[in-house]
Chains A and B, each alone.
Chain A
Amino acid sequence: MRRLSWHEKEVVSLIKYILKRILLMIPVLFGVIVVIFTINYLSPSDPLISLLGADATEAQRIAKAAELGLDQPYIVQLVQYIKGVLHLDLGTSYTTYTPVLESILERFPTTFKLSILAVGLASAVGIPLGVVAATHQNSVFDYISSIAALIVASMPGFWLGLMLIIGFSLNLGWFPASGLGTVKHWVLPVIAAGVFPIATIMRTTRSSMLEVIRQDYIRTARSKGISEKKVITRHALKNALIPVITVVGMQLAFTMGGVIVLEAVFTIPGLGSLLKTAIGYNDYPVIQGCVLFIAFVMCIMNLLVDVLYAFIDPRLKSQYASGRKKRQKAKTAAERS
């Protein structure tokens, strides 16, 4: 049998790592299902009141509860739900009677697009600002950008959204206040959703750059007469970006989970507004489905970040490749002893 090359070993190890991570997602998602289902079950809110109104008779309430399976014991309902999830059936909305997965898949692309644009904007602004702040440490720019980052990170998204609407839509009339359709419609929501990640990405880039530019190899590069611009962009930034990529990935996941209120402010038909409406009606299948889906996306994002990390960071790459060898060595040592 042909021996695997170093590169092939690397790929095999990486695939094994990904499979392991995917397997680890199962208990996480199972935990999410149990927790969210139990919280909904224990909630004092009665979905029948939201569905039938306060004037519904006892007979109507009993009939509706039986129709929705709400008259079953907790464990029966939970097992039914888990069975459904395993068959990719997240249930049917109590209010719209549409399959939950269908509603989620209809709304998700909008939320994903908003999150990608917001984090893209945040990276485009945050990374250069972080680099400049690091290379000009303790300068006026550094202080102002750090304070500005602190201020914007403290702004609640919905408040900023409303302020942007008042400023740029009502007073200046530059952008529409709500809805989707044209490029202009995306501008204010993307800014509102992107401001918080800007601050986080900028701070991470700054601290990472500060660490890297003090390394010996940077000093060596400078002593070789390489221009400062090249030192920063080709040598320092490449290595400083490793933790930034992790943060960008995580920000994407957080933004997707955090645009619930913003979608309501800008009337964007995304996953967040679906979840918000469902909460208003105590529409448990939709609430559970949305939370589970967001958790799933978070897990996937985490996985992608880790895989990307492994590709970028040569130290991690070598760890995957040498993992098998190390385990064999340890096994041999144990047998000998």
Chain B
Amino acid sequence: MKKKIALTLCAVMMATACLTGCGSGGQQANVGGNDTSADAESGEMTVIGGDSDEISEKTTDADTFVLGASEEPTTLEPAEAQLVSGWICTGAVYDNLITLNEDTGEIEGVLAESWEYTDDTTLVIRIKDGIKFHNGSDLTADDVLFTLERLAASSRYATNYSCIDFENCTVIDNTTLEVKLSTTYAPLLSYLCHPSAGVLSRSYYEEVGEEGLAREPMGTGAFVFDNWVSGDRFTAHRNDDYWGEKPAYENLAVRFITESTTRMIEFETGGVDAVIDLASSDIERMENNEVSGSVLYKMAGEKITRLEMYEGYEPFQDERVREAICHAIDFESVVSAAYGSTAEYTSSILPKDCMYYVETEGYEYDPDLAKELLEEAGYGDGFTVSASVGSGSPDAKALEIIQAQLADVGIEMELELTDVSTSIDKMLNGEANIGVINGTVNVKDPDQALSNIKAESPFKISSSSDETLNEYLITGAVSVDDSVRAEAYENACNYMHDHYLSVPICVSVVTYGVRDYVDYFPASASGWIDVKTITFK
């Protein structure tokens, strides 16, 4: 009897070990065909997999699209939403006035019939007639004005709308709004294309208040909000009275799966139809066609990570020291080791698909030159810098490698690994002399990408007091002449490059894992997707 029990226990333990052990090796048969990489229409996107004749079976509900997101939004009010998952949810329920066609780069109308500057500071918006909110009320120009008011009062996006002079804005009739600007501001239309500018209903807000707007969104969009189970999922159903082209499927679910391994397993086992924010190791597995029935969409993203030096720290006031640092770091190896497949090295301060993109050359890795420059600047014996970064992040890995490379030229970096907000706080108040900062440009306008380089930014970086650079940036923002803007941003980018200010390190790589039965997936470099356009095979 004893023997039997012992044997049974051993068998159970061995079976458990086998089950879990084989998971780590988990290579499955590839039904997606051979490795295939194809450039998408944009010329930037790579699509891997999905070329097999056999497609995998959809195990989620037949008429439902389920997306696995990495984070849960804190609010579903567009003007306050801050995460990609939040924008995806609000983008399903709300419509914008205008949108940016990523293929042509042109702004196109959504709810807006037309929009035109009648003079430099007057924008007249005409909305389409007969559009209704989900609660049956009509969309009016007053709702558009209310949306602009919410954006201007937003804790996140207020700066982008501070140019609007609300006292002089006029609702001309039910479909026409005249927006007066206190100053010219070229990026305004780009910001109106962002998902944060989804058009709200004033009467609904008056009925449900702040909390209602945050928890139960109601717009004119292709999906009608059903439920938001905190910590679990967002659900919505198709708006059968939608004014535009209706979605090809009935229900939408966005599941918030924060643990990346679990998210990927849900994708592999068919628990979700697509995932965003893939881990570096999962990207590599999908690139090697190790995840059956899946398609990987991969493209350069819109987040540029930069190395910044604090202008108040004496050594960094000497341009030769900044130049020495640029030559002391092997940026390509830093990116490869720290960010893996989630980012690519870049030498330009703007992402490639950004308006007025300027290509600048990278700095050659030359520690000997760095030492010479430091010697010339009077820092031959080196000096100490302090840095602070959120622990466990790729940025932390990057700074650890940079720390070692700077040590080779005599610069000692005291690196503090802390939480993200503390590290940002230290960069804001100058306690950290050197660090990495991210600039995102999801409206494709350089004004957004370079916003934390401007003098008005709370960051005190190497260029904050540089009047020349600031003038270029202001000209770029306020000019309504395209050629003037292009010239201003070209000057700004070249100036930063030539004076070793704001050193680009890498550009994010945006990836989506999509099951092969999805026919059309609107992969976008901005990270958020227009879910209403998704179709199944």
Contacts and interface: CB of A to CB of B under 8 A. Distances in A.
B26 A170 contact: yes
Contacts of B451: 55
Nearest to B215: A98
Contacts of A163: 20, 23
Interface residues of B, number: 60
Given A163-B23, A264-B258, A57 B231 contact: no
Interface stretch (B105-113, B118-126, B259-267, B310-318): B259-267
A54 B459 contact: yes
Interface stretch (A42-50, A200-208, A231-239, A294-302): A42-50
Contacts of A53: 82, 156
Interface stretch (B296-304, B419-427, B502-510): B419-427
A177 B265 contact: yes
Contacts of B19: 167-168, 171-172
B231 A277 contact: yes
A141 interface: yes
Contacts of B452: 54-55
Given A44-B422, A144-B10, A171-B22, A179 B268 contact: no
A193 interface: no
B155 A269 contact: no
Interface stretch (B1-9, B184-192, B242-250): B1-9
A77 interface: no
A162 B259 CA distance: 10
A276 B23 CA distance: 27
Contact of B155 (A56, A139, A167): A56
B322 interface: no
A54 B424 contact: yes
Given A144-B9, A166-B265, A177-B271, A171 B210 contact: no
Contacts of A264: 258-259
A244 interface: no
A130 B333 CA distance: 56
A319 interface: no
A210 B158 CA distance: 70
B6 A140 contact: yes
A270 B231 contact: yes
Nearest to A50: B421
A95 B262 contact: no
A148 B13 contact: yes
A48 to B, nearest CB: 8
Nearest to A93: B74
Given A98-B215, A177-B266, A45 B255 contact: no
B262 A177 contact: yes
Contacts of A288: none
Contacts of B428: 49, 54
Interface residues of A, number: 63
A26 to B, nearest CB: 31
Contact of B23 (A57, A166, A173): A166
A46 B23 contact: no
A148 B158 CA distance: 59
Nearest to A92: B211
Nearest to A181: B232
Contact of B75 (A61, A97, A144, A171): A97
Interface in A268-323: 268-270, 273-274, 276-277, 281-282
B269 interface: yes
A136 B1 CA distance: 11
A267 B258 contact: yes
B75 A96 contact: yes
A96 B75 CA distance: 6
Contacts of A164: 20
A127 to B, nearest CB: 16
A165 interface: yes
A178 B266 contact: yes
Contacts of B3: 140
A180 interface: yes
B416 to A, nearest CB: 10
Contacts of A148: 9, 13
Contacts of B20: 163-164, 166-167
Contacts of B26: 166, 170-171
B218 interface: no
